[in-house]
């Protein structure tokens, strides 16, 4: 399952779509992977290949050869195995011809068994011998290219070309006669070389096919906390350019119930993590590995799902300034309230009656919330609603990321309030508005901002996390530019 999640993450890394998604394609989240990000993904793939290609068994090779003074010798090599491959340098390039990964000057260590036999008219019995040998392969160049396309909403990897060429092979025998060494070299060097080349090309091609079926089997929806699902259907073809690869996914969040038995529960982490991203915003920095762009509609879809799931109403009975929840605190503003219920505790029943509206602008996210606030007086165990106000609160949020913490700051822009009904006669609505808006500005927002200022740690995807992340809001889009790196410094050689 870990592999699964990682592959999904990798697939996002491998394929994505740019910051400017064409309007006819509904891709609301796009991932732009720069050369630096492609390099990172390539290193990861190469490292995987180094370990997953071996041990690689090659077919047996047999041959007869005439050797001076000895005669015709039947020789065989068996149990030929590549035990270790070491890649020293590799490059990746994306372009019209697909994605090309080239490895140059790799080395490999191999082992094999050798045997020979020969007979001659003057020998009473055939002479045979066998032993082991180790082979050092040097100067191995490997090139692999594949195309990345959208196949019904999944990414499809199709191998285009795959080649391997070996410059030099050196064989070291354990035992055996010295004539044998030269005989083996002469007879088998070319065949061994091409056996290595063929085996590696074939295995790599199989690897691409496996990776492809993994990509195609990835779910098209990722559940979020049992109530919603993120549509991760790929939209449009991945765009390959010289310096980047762009992938788009639908990215909208919709309500889902009955997710209890959803098998990919690990993916929840991934999406729970995306929630952090959703709560925030970024311009493209060419020095970052990856730029994730979220359209405002992603936030809107998330907000409406959460609205539907929670109906967004709650009772406020604790505020940072508790005197606000006692009729005494309102004595001069609503005298008749104090007169009727002296020193009684109050609570506020807040109902948000439509999903908060969200707009992403330069450097900030504008949020407007319409809510009804019912004032309840708590009088000897009885809850008495006394008045109800309609309010509209507009504010702007500025998210930031530092040291892998996502935080933000909220500012109140506008606060409007009107009386819907009252059981305590006419009220000075203006005074109530001033008091509430002052309380928001001086007590409630500073309290929320204090919490936000501590930030929330960025998510970790199976040992990998965003590094040096920056967040940016611009017209309708939030962009997050980031590097990706292991949480603990793993060595990727």
Q: Which residues are at the interface with ligand NAG (CB under 6 A)?
A: 26, 79, 81, 84, 97-98, 109, 111, 113, 136, 147, 149, 160, 231, 233, 235, 237, 250, 254, 313, 315, 349, 351, 372, 374
Listed residue (126, 131, 139, 247) closest to 193, CA to CA: 139
Q: How far is the CB of 125 from ligand NAG (least distance, A)?
A: 24
Those residues whose C-beta lies under 8 Å from the C-beta of residue 456, and which sit 6 or more positions away, are 276, 405, 406, 407
Rounded Cα gap, residues 426 and 307, in angstroms: 33
Rounded Cα gap, residues 147 and 321, in angstroms: 61
Q: Which is nearer to ligand NAG, 378 or 439 (CB)?
A: 378
Q: Which is nearer to ligand NAG, 226 or 405 (CB)?
A: 226
Q: Which is nearer to ligand NAG, 147 or 467 (CB)?
A: 147
Rounded Cα gap, residues 435 and 431, in angstroms: 6
Q: How far is the CB of 104 from ligand NAG (least distance, A)?
A: 18
Burial of 66 (0-12, 13-18, 19+ CB in 10 A): exposed
Beta bridge partners of 172: 134
Q: Which is nearer to ligand NAG, 285 or 372 (CB)?
A: 372
Q: Which is nearer to ligand NAG, 148 or 444 (CB)?
A: 148
Q: What is the DSSP letter of 288?
A: S
Strands (E), 322-463: 345-352, 357-361, 364-379, 382-402, 405-422, 456-457, 460-461
Q: How far is the CB of 130 from ligand NAG (least distance, A)?
A: 9
Q: Which is nearer to ligand NAG, 50 or 285 (CB)?
A: 50
Rounded Cα gap, residues 41 and 409, in angstroms: 34
Q: How far is the CB of 81 from ligand NAG (least distance, A)?
A: 5
Q: How far is the CB of 463 from ligand NAG (least distance, A)?
A: 26
Tell me the residue number closest to ligand NAG, measured at CB.
250
Q: Which is nearer to ligand NAG, 169 or 365 (CB)?
A: 169
Q: Which is nearer to ligand NAG, 39 or 115 (CB)?
A: 115
Rounded Cα gap, residues 395 and 413, in angstroms: 5
Q: Contact at 8 Å (CB) between 397 and 390?
A: no
Q: Which is nearer to ligand NAG, 170 or 453 (CB)?
A: 170
Q: Contact at 8 Å (CB) between 225 and 256?
A: no
Q: How far is the CB of 97 from ligand NAG (least distance, A)?
A: 5
Rounded Cα gap, residues 467 and 469, in angstroms: 5
Q: How far is the CB of 332 from ligand NAG (least distance, A)?
A: 26
Q: What is the 3-state secondary structure (H, E, C) of 119-139?
A: CCCCCCCCEEEEEEEEEEEEE
Q: How far is the CB of 485 from ligand NAG (least distance, A)?
A: 28
């Amino acid at each position: 399952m870990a592999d699964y999640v990682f592959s999904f993450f990798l697939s996002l890394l491998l394929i994505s779509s740019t910051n400017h998604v064409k309007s006819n394609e509904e891709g609301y989240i796009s991932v732009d992977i720069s050369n630096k990000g492609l390099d990172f993904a390539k290193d990861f793939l190469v490292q995987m290949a180094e370990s997953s290609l071996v041990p690689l068994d090659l077919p047996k090779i047999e041959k007869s050869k005439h050797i001076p003074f000895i005669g015709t010798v039947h020789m065989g090599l068996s149990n030929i195995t590549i035990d270790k491959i070491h890649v020293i340098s590799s490059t990746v390039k994306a372009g019209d011809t697909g994605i090309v990964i080239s490895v140059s000057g790799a080395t490999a260590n191999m082992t094999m068994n050798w045997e020979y036999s020969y007979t001659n008219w003057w020998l009473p019995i055939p002479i045979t011998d066998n032993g082991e040998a180790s082979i050092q392969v040097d100067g191995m160049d490997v090139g692999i290219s594949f195309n990345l396309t959208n196949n019904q909403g999944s990414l499809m990897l199709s191998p285009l070309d795959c080649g391997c060429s070996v410059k030099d092979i050196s064989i070291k025998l354990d035992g055996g006669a010295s004539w044998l060494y030269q005989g083996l070299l002469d007879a088998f060097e070319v065949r061994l070389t091409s056996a290595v080349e063929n085996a590696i090309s074939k295995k790599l091609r199989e690897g691409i096919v496996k990776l492809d079926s993994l990509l195609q089997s990835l779910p098209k929806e990722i559940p979020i906390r049992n109530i919603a699902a993120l549509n991760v259907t790929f939209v449009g073809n991945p765009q390959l350019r010289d310096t980047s690869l762009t992938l788009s996914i639908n990215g909208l969040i919709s309500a889902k119930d009955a997710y209890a038995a959803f098998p990919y529960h690990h993916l929840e982490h991934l999406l729970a993590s995306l929630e952090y991203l959703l709560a925030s915003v970024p311009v493209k920095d060419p020095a970052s590995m990856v730029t994730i762009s979220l359209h405002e509609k992603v936030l809107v879809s998330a907000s409406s799902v959460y609205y539907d799931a929670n109906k967004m109403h709650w009772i406020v009975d604790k505020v940072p300034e508790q005197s606000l929840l006692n009729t005494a605190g309102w004595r001069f503003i609503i005298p008749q309230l104090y007169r009727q219920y002296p020193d009684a505790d109050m609570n506020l029943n807040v109902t948000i009656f439509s999903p908060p509206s969200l707009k992403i602008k330069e450097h900030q996210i504008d949020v407007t919330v319409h809510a009804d606030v019912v004032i309840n007086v708590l009088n000897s165990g009885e809850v008495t609603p006394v008045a109800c106000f309609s309010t509209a609160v507009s504010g702007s949020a500025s998210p930031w990321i530092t040291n892998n913490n996502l935080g933000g700051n909220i500012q109140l822009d506008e606060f409007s309030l009107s009386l819907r009904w009252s059981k305590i006669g006419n009220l000075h609505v203006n005074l109530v508005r001033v008091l509430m808006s002052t309380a928001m500005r001086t007590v409630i927002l500073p309290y929320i901002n204090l919490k936000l200022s501590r930030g929330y740690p960025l998510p970790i995807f199976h040992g990998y996390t965003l590094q040096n992340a920056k967040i940016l809001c611009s017209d309708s889009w939030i962009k997050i530019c980031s590097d990706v790196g292991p949480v603990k410094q793993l060595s990727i050689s």
